[in-house]
Amino acid sequence: MIEVVTGAAPAAVPIVTPGVTPGVTPGVTPDVTPGAALVVRVAPYTGHAAACEATVGIAVADPELGRALTAAIAHALEQAVRAAAPAIDRTPAHTVRVRSRNGVARRAGRLGGAIAIVPVTARNARHLAALVDGIRAAGAIGVQLVWDGADPPRAAVEHHVFAALERARATPGEPPVVLATSDQPAPALCFLVAHRSEPR
């Protein structure tokens, strides 16, 4: 599910949304439940976003124009979500876990039409870009890198993770690639897969 919220700036205190644990200390990133909804908040720009949300910040000096832009962007997002919802519901639940380039070769017959789940490990981190390339070439409809930001340590793998994401971003015609903290296909990835499958 994707929820579009409008009109209010991202709060400094936790927001009770699907998949977010309420009652945590302000400023502390809350726990996320696998399969949580993606919340897109269209709001005045504050320089930061609430945890677990995608924020479109509207920075306009004229309050009336700011409100009009906020409403227009929110409406466009809502229309896009509504149009893609049936396709999202039909997104195949078939997932394949792949840890290495050898794993791509072994599972090539199962990757076609599947979402590839790739746990980021200390061993495979430096080959992530090539691993993602191989998975996309094998016919996967999307790739989800799984890393919690702590294990393996950030200093050891973060630059490899972002290099893989940047490489994927530079090839928007290929299957989407996202980063998540769980093996459950992220709502954002399902949305991207559905959007890519729409007739042009």
Q: What pLDDT is recorded for position 54?
A: 67
Of the pLDDT bands very low, low, confident and very high (cuts 50, 70, 90), residue 117 is very high
CA 151 to CA 5: how far, in whole Å?
32
Note the Cα 14 to chain centre separation in Å: 20
Contact 24, 59 (CB under 8 A): no
Q: What pLDDT is recorded for position 10?
A: 47
Instruction: For residue range 136-185, list pLDDT tens digits in order.
Output: 999 999 999 999 999 999 999 999 999 999 999 999 889 999 999 999 88
CA 52 to CA 58: how far, in whole Å?
19
Q: Which range, 35-44, 63-72, 92-101, 109-118, has the best average confidence (pLDDT)?
A: 109-118
Q: What pLDDT is recorded for position 75?
A: 84
- Give the residue-averaged pLDDT of 110-127: 95
Contacts of 7 (CB under 8 A, 6+ apart): 42, 43, 70
Note the Cα 181 to chain centre separation in Å: 10
Of the pLDDT bands very low, low, confident and very high (cuts 50, 70, 90), residue 198 is low
Contact 177, 28 (CB under 8 A): no
The answer on pLDDT for 122 being more than 90 is: yes
Of the pLDDT bands very low, low, confident and very high (cuts 50, 70, 90), residue 188 is confident
DSSP 78-125: HHHHHHHHHHHHTS---EEE--SHHHHHHTHHHHTT-EEEEE--TTTG
- Give the residue-averaged pLDDT of 91-115: 88
Sign of the four-CA dihedral 97, 141, 84, 144: positive
By the 10 Å C-beta count (0-12 exposed, 13-18 middle, 19+ buried), 173 is classed as exposed
Instruction: For residue range 40-94, list pLDDT tens digits in order.
Output: 677 776 665 554 566 777 888 888 888 888 888 888 888 877 776 665 555 555 8
Q: What pLDDT is recorded for position 88?
A: 54
pTM for the structure as a whole:
0.61
> Which tops the pLDDT comparison, 87 or 103?
103
